[in-house]
């Protein structure tokens, strides 16, 4: 080996290569492959997947159901867990307001019970 700074060892065979050379004269390793100076393309990072429309609807539905269940539980607490009484109140309120959603119905019944009728 030599101390010549223009000489470096081949990464494949370890023998001396001069800087001016583009390939190893001993093993033929190509030192500057075509395109080697180009900046490698950034790795493609997949964008986080947006929840599908269906999934968003489903989540909304789950949230709605959880809300309804909570409201129904609140109603049951106010009628001492008498489900017949709760259903009677809901039916009565439904007759008054046939258009409203179930959660709105529950809210109205609870409000009436809280307000003393
Ligand atoms: Zn070599």
Instruction: State percent of the chain over pLDDT 70.
Output: 83
Q: Rounded to the nearest 10 degrees, how much is the dihedral formed by the CA atoms of 112, 113, 116, 117? A: 50
Residue 26 lies in a domain: no
Give the pLDDT of residue 27.
Answer: 94
Ligand 1 center from residue 39 Cα (angstroms): 25
Residue 85 lies in a domain: yes
Residue 87 lies in a domain: yes
Among 104, 95, 96, residue whose Cα is nearest residue 75:
104
As for how many domains the chain has, the answer is: 1
CA angle centred on 109, ends 102 and 58, rounded to 5°:
25
Report pLDDT digits (tens) over 57-84: 887 888 888 888 999 999 999 999 999 9
Environment of ion ligand 1 (residues, CB < 5 A): 10, 12-13, 24, 26-27, 29
Minimum mean pLDDT range among 18-32, 34-48, 84-98:
34-48
Residue 13 has pLDDT above 60, yes or no: yes
Q: Which structural domain range is residue 82 located in?
A: 53-114
Give the pLDDT of residue 91.
Answer: 95
Give the pLDDT of residue 39.
Answer: 59
71-99 burial, b for 16+ CB within 10 Å, e for fewer? bbeebeebbeeeeeebeebbeebbeeeee
């Amino acid at each position: 080996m030599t101390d010549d700074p223009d000489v470096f060892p081949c990464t494949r065979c370890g023998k001396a290569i001069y800087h001016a050379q583009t390939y190893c004269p001993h093993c033929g390793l190509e030192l500057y492959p075509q395109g080697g100076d180009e900046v490698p393309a950034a790795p493609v990072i997949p964008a986080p997947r947006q929840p599908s429309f269906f999934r968003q609807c489903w989540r909304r539905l789950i949230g709605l159901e959880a809300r309804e269940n909570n409201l129904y539980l609140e109603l049951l607490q106010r009628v001492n867990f008498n489900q017949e009484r709760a259903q009677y109140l809901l039916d009565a309120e439904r007759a008054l307001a046939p258009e409203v959603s179930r959660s709105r119905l529950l809210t109205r019944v609870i409000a009436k019970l809280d307000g003393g009728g």
